[in-house]
Structure 1
Amino acid sequence: MSGLRSSLMGVLIGILVLVLLGPFPALSAPPGEPDGEVFDLESYDLTSETDWENLDVNIYGDGYDYDDLDQEIEVGSIAPDSAPPTPQPTPEHHEEEVTPPTSHPIPSQPPAPVTLDFKGPGLFGPETGLGMPTCLLCVCISGSVYCDDTGLDQIPPLPKDTTRFYGRFNRIRHVKNTDFMNLQRLLSVDLSGNRISGMDEDVFVSLSHLQEVLLSDNHLKILPELPRSLRLIDLRNNQLGSRGVHAEAFKDMSQLEFLYLSDNNLDYVPAPLPLSLRVLHLQNNNIQSLHEDTFCNRHDRNFIRRNLEDIRLDGNPLNINLFPSAYVCLPRLPVGGH
């Protein structure tokens, strides 16, 4: 706006100079325009304030008040009265603290660990109590409990309806008389491939229906008392000596059919043997002699042991040809050395 005022002032000053210098011929309308009023500078008196205002209007001829334009321009350039809100600094992020519910008080000490106690009477055996049932550790199928190769160092409490127990290939060292207590349905116990070196004397006595005892590949030196109901006894590969087997240990076992005593330290055949016996394996022991009553009855020359068809005596320091009277009652000759 200041440049516009300066231009106007320059035009007015030029007109004043012309007036002061002297009269000029009258100015006529521009060429091409219709004849009209002659513009005569001499007829204008620019001394009054009103003339200045009329001159201002006649020059521009639009009747526009540039004071208003000046005011609008100045108003438009002024910054608004109210400044935009200053952005507030972002508050620092603090991790939300979770307050535990107050309805349950926090204990001052952690709870005591749960102990699996197998002592006392219970549903799953004489010492189960409130402990974990064996069937969660082993496999139980129709009365049979399979605990083979599970790292056991003792016989676990068994369900009362157990009929067959398989605890092979573990680390069991001793068998207690309470391990099979009250298991009246038990028919078979297989503890082959453990480290058993001792068993309580009466561990099997109360098992009146027991038919099979398999204790091969252990370290037994003394054989506990066995029930008369047994049908199969497997004691292969132990350390049994003749002193470790009770005198007449198998005499009254009227149902015994299979007796496996190979790879031990026996120095004689554990006679008398029941008439029900079908298989007798005694190979790889220290047996050196046989007697007339070992298999036969010297008082009854007509006695024939018909069931015993498989006798193994090989691997012993024994010449079976020297004892012909010991097996004259047998349907088949024993297998042996020399």
Structure 2
Amino acid sequence: MAVHRQTSKMVLYLVWTLLGFGLCAPPTDLDPEAFGYDDLNTLDLNYEYDEEVETLAPPPAVTPPPAVVPPEDYVEEVTLPPRPTKSPVPSTLDLHGPGLFGPDTGLGMPSCLLCVCISGSVYCDDSELTQIPPLPKETTHFYARFNKITEVKATDFINLNQLKRIDLSGNQIGKVNEAAFRSLLQLQDLMLADNNIQVLPELPASLKHIDVRNNQLRSSSMHAEAFKEMEELQFLYLSNNKLDYIPVPLPDSLRSLHLQNNNIQSISQDTFCNIHDKNYIRKALEDIRLDGNPVDINFYPQAYICLPRLPIGTPV
């Protein structure tokens, strides 16, 4: 009896097992079109899976420094640099006196700011000057044409040992100190044309070119033998003055002598030649202008026998 029951249980277990497999197996006659798909392979079975993604760590956050907040009663102090009393340029570049631009003029401006300084040349043309400004001691050429300068003082060119040219043409100079040019032992060109000069001061023997045209010079106001020692003088322009005679003796180096429009009335035989030496020839003097004077050059043929060319003059 017990064996029979045991056998019955085993049969029932097998039956239920077989029925369970049958119910769980998928049907084999399913129609894909009934579910709206043409192919079961296209079905999205919605498989979900986790994918491990490697990510970089974010940069550490930078914390800005805390802002400095001044107290409410804080007042900012601004200190301006002091005004310089001397030029910041090294003294080795200074031309003369304080600063790169030279000493102050009577107008309260540095000479080389009022004028133009290029190397050793100072240009002050047409600058409304009424006096000669202090010049850098290295000045070699000075131009102050077409100003309103009325006087040349004894101290205007003092200690300017390198000065070679002075041009004061076209001013209103009526007075020149006797010692104004005396110490300028390197001076070669002196241009004083178109002024009101009545007396010509002592001049250095180094001069090569003298131009005193259009002034008020008289023979009595010139030094005796003023040009005798000038062994390098080549150009002497004294036209449009009030000279009564030719200033003799003239150096042998002279090439050009302009005396037109004066008051010269006569010429002596030794004005140009040497009456004691008949073989003397003055080769350099080729340009003599005597036109505009009351002298008749035709009356003095013996005065020209040593010259390579005759003077230019207007017969009376």
- TM-score normalised over the length of structure 2: 0.67
Q: What is the distance in 1 between the residues matched to 2:136 and 2:207?
A: 22
Tell me, yes or no, if structure 1 residue 224 matches structure 2 residue 201.
yes
- Preserved CA contact (<8 Å) 1:147 1:166: yes
Partner of 1:198: 175
The runs of at least 4 aligned residues of structure 1 exceeding 6 Å deviation read: 101-104
Identical pairs, percent: 63
Deviation of 1:129 (Å): 6.7
Structure 1 residue 251 corresponds to structure 2 residue 228: yes
Q: In structure 2, which of residues 204, 224, 240 is the aligned counterpart of residue 263 of structure 1?
A: 240
Gaps of 5+ in 1: 1-100, 105-113, 115-120
Counterpart check, 1:141 vs 2:118: yes
Q: Distance in 1 between matches of 2:182 and 2:123?
A: 23
Give the TM-score taking structure 1 as reference length: 0.63
Task: Provide the residue aligned with 1:128 in structure 2.
Answer: 103
The answer to whether the aligner puts 1:317 opposite 2:303 as a matched pair is no
Q: Name 2:268's counterpart in structure 1.
A: 291
1-structure distance, mates of 2:216, 2:149: 16
Matches of 1:238 and 1:312 in 2, distance apart? 17
Q: Where does structure 2 lack aligned partners over 5 or more consecutive residues?
A: 1-74, 79-84, 86-95
Contact 2:104 2:111 in 1 (8 A): no
Number of aligned residue pairs: 222
Listed as ranges, the matches of 1:224-243 within 5 Å are 224-243=201-220
Cα distance in 1 for partners of 2:164, 2:109 equals 24
Q: For residues 51-102 of structure 1, what are the alpha-carbon distances to aligned partners after superposition, in whole Å with 9 as ceiling and x for unaligned? A: xxxxxxxxxxxxxxxxxxxxxxxxxxxxxxxxxxxxxxxxxxxxxxxxxx89
1:325 to partner: Cα distance: 1.2
* Letter in structure 2 aligned against 1:303: Y
Letter in 2 for 1:263: N
CA-to-partner distance for each residue in 1:98-129, whole Å, 9 max, x for gaps? Answer: xxx8979xxxxxxxxx9xxxxxx9358xx937
Kindly indicate whether the alpha-carbon contact (under 8 Å) linking 1:123 and 1:160 is maintained by their aligned counterparts in 2. no
Partner of 1:325: helix, strand, or coil? helix
What is the CA deviation profile of residues 192-225 of structure 1, one whole-angstrom value per residue up to 9, with x for unaligned ones? 0000000110111111100000000000000010
Verify the 8 A CA contact 1:221 1:238 in the aligned structure 2: yes
Query: Partners of 2:98 and 2:301 in 1: how far apart?
Result: 57
CA distance in 1, matches of 2:281, 2:251: 13
* Residue 227 to residue 123, structure 1, CA distance change in 2 (3 Å): farther
Q: Report the secondary structure of 1:226's partner residue.
A: coil
Aligned CA-pair RMSD: 2.2
